[in-house]
Every structure is written in structure tokens, then in C-alpha cells.
């Protein structure tokens, strides 16, 4: 049962594979989504030069291999349409494909680039949005993992800095998520692909070492398979499979680099996997293996009786074979169902046709419920990302309650974490703990197999703020914060107000000038705060950072100030219909006829299609400004004059652009060439570093209309290396 090599299918190939497990109405849905995506992405091209639609088709193909339902595959085909195709909205998707698919597409669609302090906040909130969508439908993350898998396969077409950034995010978030969901096939491939870009030399070194004795290892594997197969048949087991188990490079790299182990100290480079029908046959094969070869002490693991947190089940044993097989080798033994779950994880467990799962499903996804629990109380973007990484990276331990029930906690957890894992009240009233019958400090680190008893008291004064430094799980930290939020509300409100006043003063503004409803209403809405006091309280109990709140309020104040200027411009008298007398000057008709010198304001660079006003300049004729230009809004009314664009082509006009991009070699030249190739000349360009890895490009393009500017911006905003693109004054 070899691991599937995920590929990209044509529509006919996709339908042929779907027919094996999907009803006819599902096939029609996929065909419709395929055609919709092909039309929507028509004309769009990936960096590789391929049509853009090859990406959603490749993502859908991965899900076909996982045998996901038709709704998931349709959503995969449509997953980039809302984000990357003008005119396609979630409402359009819902109208064409229904609420279920709209919800899946929305779950994997990143938040827009507006209304965020910086990219870190935008990324954090996009992840929060996806985690919430996962809680409603786990298929969201399965689609997202397939999406990342294909992006990693085509990462070579990105700039070097972008490659490293994407690879790092893959190892930080996506690979741990795949691990948590038990999706080993995807996890192994994206880790290997990420390693190529994060540490090319390390990747090459491991690949070279693995390849040096490949033929020798293959001969030893053949010997193991032959010997073991013969003995299994002698025991009357006829329906079994044995294969060499490939070890992915990143796993070896971690052991060599992170655990500082020599290459010859890695004992599972030679490994075989035995797949049988039943659990009793698993243990029979284990006994056979232990009679054939010598077991290495401490290297046997029974994940059948005690499965991993991600549903993984198998028997693992490391053996020494003597002269014929001098190197230690590993044997894994599992049933066919266990193998399917080991390869595909949550995708193998989810029964979409019936809308239900096996009875233990909720327990297997307890870690997700924990994340959903604490994220709602975590307002700070950086804290959310740090907490997410902590929860995803942590290994689990298994401890016992006094009644013998098993609870899983992340490694490093303390008796206090255990108490809050049971119930908030148990944690809040905890006064001590026993581990294996002995009193221990509450900061004691628990280990698998410990029996933990929590001592509580009705006279307890509740948790201490110091407990936040004792507990390790985000769930416990959230419950402690909730306690202080409720019990110390008044104190937190005052503390939060003081913290905000201090931060505002540091930024040179008054808090009173910022705490106006029009400035803070969006912030309350985003985080579901009922009123301003709730926001103060959240700052007071460290639920949201004061620096973030003040930054948001300042940005909102600036934005609305700009809008006020625009409204003032809009209140100017509408230009009168100008009688076209004589010829226009530079494409402009001026009230009263021709003969006046016409020039364009360099402060706003108007182009045909913009609303414009004229300003009579002493000795210099008429200067044409955009109607919302600050210089025309504040101009002397008696010096304003009506102007309008001529209908005929008046040549090219300069328009300023600002483009925020990921830094990469020659990024300015690349963007300028991209614009020029679209048929729009670039008159000038310069760049500045905003912060490490991010650059702002200042461009001047030559256009004949406002619509042409809009088209250039639309094309720029679809590039993966562009964060923002907008028109500027200069």
C-alpha cells in the first residue's frame, strides 16, 4: 500500500476518480465548479507562466486523493475566486453553489488588506478567522493544507526572501496543523519542501548522507521483508502487506541538527511497515518479529492501546538483526484502517455523507476546542499567534485522575493546568496538589503516567496573578484571566484607562481626543466589546495590548479626518455645463472659452475621468486639481473656475502610485517591467525600505484615463508579492 503521489487531474480524470465514491449529483456539482473557476480565472497567470486555474485544480486533485466529498472539492476549485477575481463575491458563490460551499470558501479566504495596523495583525486575524471556521467545519483546514501543499511545490518561482518567509510559515503553522490532524502524507511533503528553502545546505547534506548507502539499505530491507513474510505465512496469516517505509528528510534533519545526533545514531533509517487485517494479527506479527531479531531496550511503543492525540495507531519496535542486518531497523505494524488514518488523518475519519463521525471524534479534536476557547479572550495579535504556535507544537502527555480516568495535557503542563482542564471552579479554588500520592508544588512539571489529585478549599481566595507564570496551557491562562476580568472589573477598567492614557501621552496625543464613538466603534465591533468600559477592562487584564488600541484609534482618527476633507470637496458647487467654445487646451475646456494657459496640479495629478476643478493662478493661468485635492478644498472661492475634460484623446497624463511589496532582488525593476508589459509606460520609480523584508515603491505612470490607473492597480493587487497598491498624489 504505497503512499499516494498527489497530482493534478483533468476534469475527466477527476470525475472518473470521483465516480468511485460520489453520487451523481456530486459529480454535477464538481463539473459546475470546475467550469466556473476556469471562466473566473481566465487570463490570469501564475508566476510559473501556467494559467492560474491550474492551482485550484491541483488543490482539488489532492482532495480527490483523500476521497473528500463533492462539496469540499467544489470549494477547493472555487477557493481563490473571491480573493483574486474582481466581481466574484461570497454572495455570488452562495447564489451559484449554496450556503455550505460559500462557508467553506469564506473559511479559506484571507482577510482583506485594509483596516489593519500592519501585516502581522492582518496575518494573525486571518488565522483567527480560519481557526473559527475550522471549529464549525474541519474541512476548511483540509482545503487550506492542500492549498499550501501545491504552493510549496511551486515555490521555486517566488523571490528568495518570499520563499523563506512562506517556508517558515509552513513549518511554524501548517506542518504542526497537519500533524495535529494526523495528515502525515501532507505533513511529510511540506516539511521536506520547506527545508529546501530554509536551510538549503542542511537539506543537501541530509539528502547526500541518505543517498550514500541507499543500495545497501535496500538490500537489507529486502532481506527483512523476505524473512518476516515467510514466518508470517507460517503462522497462518495470508492477507498482509509489507513495504519499506520511507523516512522523510526533515525528520532526519531535526534529529541531526536540533537533537544533535550523528547520522549513524538515527535508528529508523531502515524501516518496514506490516499491514494486516485485525488487531490480534498486529500483536501476532510483533511476536514473530521479536523472535526473529533482538529488540532494542526502550524502543517499543504501543500506539494501538494508547493512540496518539492525532488518532495515530500502530505498533513500533526497533530491532537488531545481527551480521546479515548490522544496522538497527524499525518495524511498524498496523491494520489497514489504521494505515488509512495514519496517512490521511482527519480526512479518513470525517463522514461527510452522513454528516457524522465516530463516537470518539470530539475527544480527538479536544485540542481544537481548547484553541477556540482561549482565542476568544486573546485580543492581541502577537499573543494569539504565539499561543497558536505553542498549542500546535506541544506534544501531549497522558495523566490519570484519582478515579483512573485518562486526561491528555500538553508536555510541560503543571497540576494547575490539570485543575483547570477539569473545570474552572476546580482551578480557581485549588490550594495544593498531590502527584502519585505525594504533595508537590503547583509548578511541578507532570509526566505521562502520573496520577494527579487536586486539593481545593471553599475558603480559597481564588487564583493569583503569579499563576499566569505557572500554567503552561493557553486554556488555563484564559480561565485565570476570565476570573480577574469578572472579579476585578472595576479595577481593570481603571487600570486599562491609565495604561491607554500613558500610551497616548507617549504618542503625543490625548486619550480624550481619541475616545470618540466614531473612532472606537469599529474596534468594539471587531472584538465584540459591548462598550468602551469593556475595552478598558480588556486592556487592564492584559487581554489586548494598549499599544495596539492606541495605534488603531490614531489610524481611525486620521482616516476620518481625510474623509472630512473629501466631503468638504464634495460640497463645492457642481461644475456648470461648459459651452465648448474653441479648442481645448491640453484636453481641458475652461469656462469662458479658450485662450487661457492650462496646467495640472502636481499635488494631485488629475487624469481624464477624475472630477476636477480649476483655480485661477495670478500670472499662470488655470491650474486643474482633483475635486478632493486639499489645495482646492481650502482655496479662495472667488478664484475657482469650472473646467471639464474634452472628449477626444488628449494624450498621456502622469499618475502617482504607491506599492507596498515583499523585498526581493530587483523588485523595483520587476514591478516596473510588469506594468510596462501591460501597455502602460512608467515614467519614474524609486523605492524605500519600510521595515526588514518590506519595501514601498513610488511610481509615476503615464495614462490616458482614470480607468487605466484602476486597471493597473487591479493587476498589481493580484500579485502574490504585493501587499498594497493604491493611487497617490505624486
Taking only the tens place, the pLDDT of each residue in 665-674 is: 788 888 888 8
Q: What is the DSSP letter of 108?
A: H
Measured distance CA(86)–CA(92) in Å, rounded: 11
Mean pLDDT of the chain: 79
Q: Which of 594, 703, 576 is nearest to 649 (CA)?
A: 703
Q: Residue 57: CB partners within 8 Å, gap ≥ 6?
A: 8, 9, 14, 34, 37, 77
Mean pLDDT of 217-237: 89
Mean pLDDT of 446-470: 86
Mean pLDDT of 651-668: 81
**pLDDT(722) > 60:** yes
Contact call for residues 635 and 627 (beta carbons, < 8 A): no
Measured distance CA(289)–CA(281) in Å, rounded: 12
Q: Which of 389, 388, 416, 410 is nearest to 398 (CA)?
A: 410
Q: What is the DSSP letter of 356?
A: B
Beta-sheet strands, E only, within 141-278: 241-244, 271-276
DSSP string over 507-548 = TT--HHHH--HHHHHHHHHHHT-SSHHHHHHHHHTTSS-HHH
Measured distance CA(345)–CA(194) in Å, rounded: 21
β-bridge partners, 271: 330
**Predicted pLDDT of residue 652:** 79
Q: What is the DSSP letter of 3?
A: P
Q: What is the DSSP letter of 468?
A: G
**pLDDT(152) > 90:** yes
Tell me the torsion sign for CA atoms 604, 610, 612, 618. Answer: positive
Measured distance CA(54)–CA(51) in Å, rounded: 6
- Of 172-181, 332-341, 536-545, 557-566, the range with the highest mean pLDDT is 332-341
Q: Residue 215: CB partners within 8 Å, gap ≥ 6?
A: none
Q: Residue 285 class from Cβ within 10 Å (0-12 exposed, 13-18 middle, 19+ buried)?
A: buried
Q: Which of 215, 214, 195 is nearest to 205 (CA)?
A: 195
DSSP string over 397-408 = EEEE-TTS-EEE
**pLDDT(439) > 90:** yes
Measured distance CA(314)–CA(307) in Å, rounded: 8
Query: What is the share, in percent, of the chain residues with pLDDT greater than 90?
Result: 17
Four-CA torsion 21, 25, 26, 31, nearest 10 degrees: 120
Q: What is the CATH number of domain 364-464?
A: 3.10.20.30
Angle at the Cα of 536 from the Cα atoms of 535 and 541, rounded to 5 degrees: 100
Only one residue has cell 494527579, namely 452
Mean pLDDT of 694-709: 85
**pLDDT(2) > 50:** no
Contact call for residues 332 and 273 (beta carbons, < 8 A): yes
Per-residue burial over 49-88, b if 16 or more Cβ lie within 10 Å, else e, is: eeebbbbbbbbbbbbbbbbbbbbbbbbbbbbbbbebbeeb
Four-CA torsion 634, 639, 642, 645, nearest 10 degrees: -70
Measured distance CA(629)–CA(600) in Å, rounded: 12
Pairing relationship of beta strands 452-456 and 598-600 according to DSSP bridges: unpaired
Structural domain spans, the chain: 11-198, 208-349, 364-464, 488-570, 588-645, 653-728
Measured distance CA(584)–CA(648) in Å, rounded: 9
Q: Residue 481 class from Cβ within 10 Å (0-12 exposed, 13-18 middle, 19+ buried)?
A: buried
Measured distance CA(192)–CA(186) in Å, rounded: 10
Q: CB count, 10 Å around CB of 516? A: 13
With H, G, I as helix, E, B as strand and everything else as coil, classify residue 120.
helix
**Predicted pLDDT of residue 128:** 66
The string of pLDDT tens digits covering residues 341-394 is: 887 776 665 544 344 444 455 555 556 666 655 555 555 555 566 666 555 555
Q: What is the CATH number of domain 208-349?
A: 3.30.460.10
Contact call for residues 243 and 273 (beta carbons, < 8 A): yes
* pLDDT category of residue 133 using cuts at 50, 70 and 90: low
Q: Residue 471: CB partners within 8 Å, gap ≥ 6?
A: 413, 414, 416, 417, 420, 477, 480
Q: Residue 114 to residues 107, 119, 125, 555, 723: CA-CA distances in angstroms?
A: 18, 10, 12, 11, 10
Q: Is there a catalytic annotation at residue 69?
A: no
Q: Residue 315: CB partners within 8 Å, gap ≥ 6?
A: 282, 283, 286, 300, 301, 302, 303, 304, 332, 333, 334
Sheet with 640-641: list strands edge to edge. Answer: 598-600, 621-626, 612-617, 640-641
User: What angle separates helix 139-153 from helix 119-136, to the nearest 10 degrees?
Assistant: 130
Tell me the three cell numbers of residue 38: 476556469
* pLDDT category of residue 142 using cuts at 50, 70 and 90: confident
Measured distance CA(58)–CA(63) in Å, rounded: 9
Matching fold, domains 208-349 and 364-464: no
Q: Residue 110 class from Cβ within 10 Å (0-12 exposed, 13-18 middle, 19+ buried)?
A: middle
Range in 131-135, 395-399, 653-657, 721-725 with the lowest mean pLDDT: 131-135
Measured distance CA(512)–CA(235) in Å, rounded: 83
Q: Is there a catalytic annotation at residue 13?
A: no
Measured distance CA(445)–CA(452) in Å, rounded: 11
**Predicted pLDDT of residue 367:** 61
**pLDDT(296) > 70:** yes
**Predicted pLDDT of residue 410:** 79
Query: What is the share, in percent, of the chain residues with pLDDT greater than 70?
Result: 79
**pLDDT(115) > 60:** no
Tell me the three cell numbers of residue 531: 462598550
How many DSSP H helices and E strands does the chain contain? 32, 20
With H, G, I as helix, E, B as strand and everything else as coil, classify residue 452.
strand
Active-site option among 83, 118, 386, 533: 83
Higher pLDDT, 322 or 514: 514
**pLDDT(564) > 80:** no
Q: What is the CATH number of domain 653-728?
A: 3.30.70.260
**Predicted pLDDT of residue 442:** 92
Measured distance CA(173)–CA(393) in Å, rounded: 9
β-bridge partners, 302: 315
Architecture of domain 11-198: Orthogonal Bundle (1.10)
Mean pLDDT of 54-68: 90
Q: Residue 134 class from Cβ within 10 Å (0-12 exposed, 13-18 middle, 19+ buried)?
A: buried
Q: CB count, 10 Å around CB of 471? A: 26
Active-site option among 80, 84, 191, 380: 84
Amino acid at each position: 500500500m504505497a503512499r499516494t503521489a498527489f497530482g493534478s487531474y483533468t476534469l475527466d480524470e477527476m470525475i472518473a476518480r470521483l465516480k468511485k465514491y460520489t453520487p451523481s449529483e456530486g459529480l454535477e456539482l464538481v463539473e459546475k465548479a470546475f467550469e466556473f473557476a476556469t471562466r473566473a480565472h481566465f487570463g490570469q497567470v501564475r508566476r510559473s507562466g501556467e494559467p492560474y486555474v491550474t492551482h485550484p485544480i491541483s488543490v482539488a486533485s489532492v482532495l480527490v486523493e483523500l476521497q473528500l466529498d463533492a462539496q469540499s472539492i467544489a470549494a477547493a476549485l472555487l477557493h481563490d475566486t473571491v480573493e483574486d477575481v474582481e466581481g466574484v463575491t461570497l454572495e455570488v458563490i452562495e447564489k451559484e453553489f449554496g450556503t455550505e460551499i460559500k462557508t467553506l470558501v469564506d473559511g479559506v479566504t484571507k482577510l482583506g488588506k485594509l483596516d489593519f495596523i500592519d501585516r502581522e495583525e492582518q496575518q494573525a486575524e486571518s488565522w483567527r478567522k480560519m481557526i473559527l471556521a475550522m471549529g464549525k467545519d474541519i474541512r476548511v483546514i483540509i482545503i487550506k493544507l492542500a492549498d499550501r501543499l501545491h504552493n510549496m511545490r511551486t515555490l521555486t518561482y517566488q523571490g528568495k526572501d518570499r520563499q523563506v518567509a512562506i517556508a517558515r510559515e509552513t513549518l511554524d503553522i501548517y506542518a504542526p496543523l497537519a500533524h495535529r490532524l494526523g495528515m502525515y502524507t501532507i505533513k511529510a511533503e511540506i516539511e521536506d519542501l520547506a527545508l529546501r528553502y530554509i536551510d538549503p545546505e542542511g537539506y543537501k547534506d541530509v539528502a547526500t548522507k541518505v543517498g550514500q548507502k541507499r543500495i545497501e539499505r535496500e538490500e537489507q530491507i529486502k532481506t527483512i521483508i523476505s524473512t518476516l513474510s515467510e514466518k508470517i505465512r507460517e503462522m497462518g496469516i495470508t492477507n498482509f502487506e509489507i513495504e519499506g517505509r520511507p523516512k522523510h528528510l526533515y525528520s532526519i534533519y531535526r534529529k541531526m541538527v536540533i537533537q544533535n545526533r550523528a547520522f549513524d545514531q538515527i535508528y529508523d533509517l531502515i524501516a518496514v511497515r506490516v499491514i494486516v487485517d485485525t488487531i490480534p494479527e498486529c500483536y501476532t506479527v510483533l511476536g514473530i518479529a521479536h523472535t526473529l531479531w533482538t529488540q532494542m531496550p526502550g524502543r517499543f511503543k504501543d500506539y494501538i492501546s494508547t493512540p496518539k492525540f492525532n488518532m495515530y495507531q500502530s505498533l513500533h519496535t526497533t530491532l537488531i538483526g545481527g551480521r546479515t542486518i548490522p544496522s538497527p531497523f524499525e518495524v511498524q505494524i498496523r491494520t489497514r484502517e489504521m494505515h488509512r488514518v495514519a496517512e490521511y488523518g482527519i480526512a479518513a475519519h470525517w463522514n461527510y455523507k452522513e454528516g457524522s463521525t465516530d463516537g470518539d471524534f470530539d475527544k480527538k479534536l479536544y485540542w481544537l476546542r481548547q484553541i477556540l476557547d482561549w482565542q476568544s479572550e486573546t485580543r492581541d495579535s502577537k499573543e494569539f499567534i504565539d499561543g497558536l504556535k505553542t498549542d500546535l507544537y506541544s506534544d501531549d502527555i497522558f495523566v490519570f485522575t484519582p478515579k483512573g480516568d485518562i486526561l491528555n495535557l500538553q508536555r510541560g503542563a503543571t497540576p494547575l493546568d490539570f485543575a483547570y482542564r477539569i473545570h474552572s471552579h476546580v482551578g480557581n479554588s485549588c490550594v495544593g496538589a498531590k502527584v502519585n500520592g505525594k504533595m508537590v508544588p503547583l509548578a511541578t512539571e507532570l509526566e505521562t503516567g502520573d496520577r494527579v489529585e487536586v486539593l481545593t478549599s471553599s475558603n480559597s481566595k481564588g487564583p493569583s496573578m503569579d499563576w499566569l507564570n505557572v500554567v503552561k496551557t493557553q486554556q488555563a491562562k484564559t480561565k485565570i484571566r476570565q476570573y480577574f476580568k469578572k472579579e476585578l472589573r472595576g479595577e481593570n477598567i481603571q487600570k486599562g484607562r491609565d495604561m491607554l492614557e500613558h500610551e497616548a501621552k507617549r504618542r503625543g496625543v490625548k486619550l480624550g481626543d481619541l475616545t470618540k464613538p466614531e473612532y472606537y466603534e469599529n474596534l468594539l465591533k471587531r472584538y465584540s466589546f459591548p462598550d468602551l468600559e469593556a475595552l478598558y477592562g480588556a486592556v487592564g487584564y492584559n487581554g489586548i495590548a494598549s499599544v495596539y488600541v492606541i495605534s488603531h484609534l490614531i489610524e481611525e482618527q486620521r482616516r476620518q479626518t481625510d474623509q472630512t476633507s473629501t466631503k468638504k470637496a464634495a460640497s463645492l458647487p457642481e461644475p456648470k455645463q461648459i459651452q465648448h467654445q474653441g479648442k481645448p487646451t491640453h484636453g481641458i475646456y475652461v469656462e469662458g472659452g479658450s485662450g487661457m494657459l492650462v496646467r495640472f496640479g502636481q499635488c494631485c495629478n488629475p487624469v481624464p475621468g477624475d472630477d476636477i476643478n480649476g483655480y485661477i493662478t495670478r500670472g499662470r493661468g488655470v491650474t486643474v486639481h482633483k475635486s478632493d485635492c486639499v489645495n482646492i478644498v481650502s482655496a479662495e472661492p472667488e478664484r475657482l473656475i469650472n473646467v471639464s475634460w474634452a472628449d477626444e484623446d488628449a494624450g498621456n497624463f502622469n499618475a502617482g502610485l504607491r506599492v507596498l511589496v515583499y523585498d526581493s532582488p530587483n523588485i523595483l525593476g520587476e514591478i516596473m517591467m510588469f506594468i510596462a508589459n501591460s501597455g502602460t509606460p512608467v515614467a519614474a520609480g524609486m523605492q524605500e525600505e519600510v521595515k526588514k523584508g518590506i519595501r514601498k515603491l513610488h511610481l509615476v505612470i503615464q495614462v490616458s484615463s482614470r480607468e487605466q490607473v484602476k486597471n493597473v492597480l487591479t493587476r498589481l493587487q493580484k500579485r502574490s508579492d504585493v501587499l498594497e497598491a493604491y493611487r497617490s498624489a505624486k
